[in-house]
Amino acid sequence: MAKDTKDANGDVAAMPFEKALAELEQIVGKLESGNVPLEDSIKIYERGEVLKKRCDALLKDAEARVEKIALDAKGKPTGSTPLDQD
């Protein structure tokens, strides 16, 4: 990725998940329409890649923080455990 592309995508690192996902969806729509000149397609594709990585990182972070409720034999909550522990 070129330096000017990195500079153009510097705002992505601070984006909340919802904003990054919404912009990513707009980019996909533009690319699927086929009405974007080649050079513009390349630029927005690169931005889409940066947005996708941001969304993936935020999802992994959220997943790591999600806990499931532990139940006793009678089905009553007894606490919580990390989601990926069984």
pLDDT in tens, 33-54: 999 999 999 999 999 999 999 9
H/E stretch holding 86: none
Output the pTM of the full model: 0.70
Taking alpha carbons only, the member of 6, 14, 76 closest to residue 47 is: 6
Is residue 71 pLDDT above 80, yes or no?
no
The yes-or-no verdict on residue 59 having pLDDT over 90 is yes
What pLDDT score does 6 carry?
59
β-bridge mates for residue 68, sequence order:
81
Is residue 76 within a helix (H) or strand (E), and if so which, with residue range?
A: none
**Model pLDDT, residue 3:** 55
